[in-house]
Amino acid sequence: MKKLGAIGMSFYALLCVAVMFMMPMNEYEWMLDDPKARADGLTFCGLPLDDGIDARIIALIVLLPLAIAGCALSAKKRRIHYSAWLALVVLLVWGWRFFVHYPLCPGREAF
């Protein structure tokens, strides 16, 4: 049963990472697929600002169940549980995806 739980947690962690990378960082990213816009030199920094729900927050909400389970199981076992390590790794991927890897455009805030 423990292996099944570890497999389930690992699958959920992979699902979290997949969701993070599938969500667009800007709702107007579809404009980059237009060949005419690409020929005009449109880049990520030239896209309109996105005022919608932030992808960072949604990805963090998806990560919360894994983090809560990791904290609860770690408190129960009195040592760091496997799911807590998974949550930490996924949190690091989240930070890399939305803060480090985020294109730094002049005149735009990344936060």
Instruction: Tokens 């998806």: give the residue.
Output: 62
Q: Note the pLDDT tens digit of each residue in 30-66.
A: 888 888 887 888 887 787 777 766 788 888 899 999 8
Would you state the structure tokens that stand for residue 63, as one six-digit string? 């990560």
55 vs 103 pLDDT, higher one: 55
Side chain identity, residue 98 = F
Q: How confident is the model at residue 82 (pLDDT cuts 50, 70, 90)?
A: confident
